[in-house]
């Protein structure tokens, strides 16, 4: 656990150096992403990783470590980077927050999924949904 905490702290230290993008930079990167520019994807993602951490922190204490929450949020961020349509006029972070939360919520649902049993006739347990 200490190793994971050190890794998260190192990650947080690294991403604090990233600066937010201007609206013009977001538009330019989005256009380049549509053309298949992997460097543009990377720049857009790196510029928004600190935001992922802020969203992930809202979900602490629900069954996943902060590192797992950040990882799930980053998966959502990657999806958002590939799907973002700059012509709709929204800032990237406004669009991305939905995908980030979706990634985190899916990871939480997967982690907390349990099989529930209900009493059948005669006191026998039956698996719900099976």
Give me the residues of the chain with pLDDT under 50, please: none
Single pTM value for the model: 0.80
User: Could you tell me the residue ranges of all domains in the chain?
Assistant: 2-127
CATH for the stretch 2-127: 1.20.120.1810
* Long-range contacts (CB closer than 8 Å, 24 or more residues apart) made by 2-7: 4/65, 4/67, 7/67
pLDDT, position 6: 84
C-alpha radius of gyration, the chain, whole number:
19
């Amino acid at each position: 656990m200490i190793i994971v905490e050190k890794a998260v702290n190192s990650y947080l230290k690294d991403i604090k150096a990233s600066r937010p993008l201007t609206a013009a930079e977001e538009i330019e990167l989005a256009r380049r992403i549509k053309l298949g520019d992997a460097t543009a994807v990377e720049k857009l993602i790196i510029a928004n990783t600190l935001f992922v951490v802020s969203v992930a922190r809202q979900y602490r204490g629900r069954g996943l470590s902060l590192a797992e929450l950040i990882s799930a949020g980053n998966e959502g961020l990657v999806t958002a980077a590939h799907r973002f349509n700059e012509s709709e006029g929204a800032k990237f972070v406004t669009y991305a927050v939905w995908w980030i939360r979706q990634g985190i919520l899916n990871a939480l649902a997967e982690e907390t999924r349990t099989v529930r049993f209900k009493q059948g006739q005669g006191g026998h347990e039956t698996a719900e949904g099976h």
